[in-house]
Amino acid sequence: MFIKPKEIIEILKKNLFIKKSDRVAEFGCGAGYFTVLLAENVAEVYAIDILEDNLNEAKELVDIYSYKNVNFIKADVKNLNYEDNFFDVVFISQILFQNEGYDSILDSALRIVKNGGLIIILEPNEKLSFISGQPISYEFIQVYFKIKNKKIIFQKFFGPYYLIVVEK
């Protein structure tokens, strides 16, 4: 089963997890499929990726739609130069399993999201034939945020994927 970005964004909009007034950090923008959908539905998107090729591909897609509310940043999401509590939402899609030290990614998200802001995570819950890396289980994410004293306010499973929303 493949992820359907538009379906994910519709769920987030319907539940008011993303709003027109939001400033969103997108960790690992990849080719920009979520970037364009976020740009359509929020005030400002910071599309962050460590790979220049991914950023270029995402820029091309954003340009097709003529969105002007997207900032592209080449950076390691574990070490971002944003002030604490800068973003309303941090959107993390399918990057935790690709990284060692994924807890550092979550720590970074917690630091830069505002108090009362949201961290949205979409990840595979099991090993899939078409991905490399070790999936980060939903149970691990639960334990991580419990230790950090943060509450998971929404969860949904899509076949082998989970979508969770955490409130800071």
Residue 128: per-residue pLDDT: 65
What proportion of the chain, given as a percentage, has pLDDT over 90? Answer: 82
What pTM was estimated for this model as a whole? 0.94
Question: What is the Cα–Cα distance from 48 to 25, expressed in whole angstroms?
Answer: 7
**What tens digit of pLDDT does each residue of 105-148 get?**
999 999 999 999 999 999 988 666 656 667 888 999 999 999 99
What class has domain 20-167?
alpha beta
Helix axes 52-65, 33-41, angle to 10 degrees: 50
Q: Measuring CA to CA, which residue among 160, 150, 161, 89 is closest to residue 122? A: 161
Tell me the mean pLDDT in the region 46-75.
97
Domain ranges, ordered by start, for the chain: 20-167
What does pLDDT average to over the chain?
93
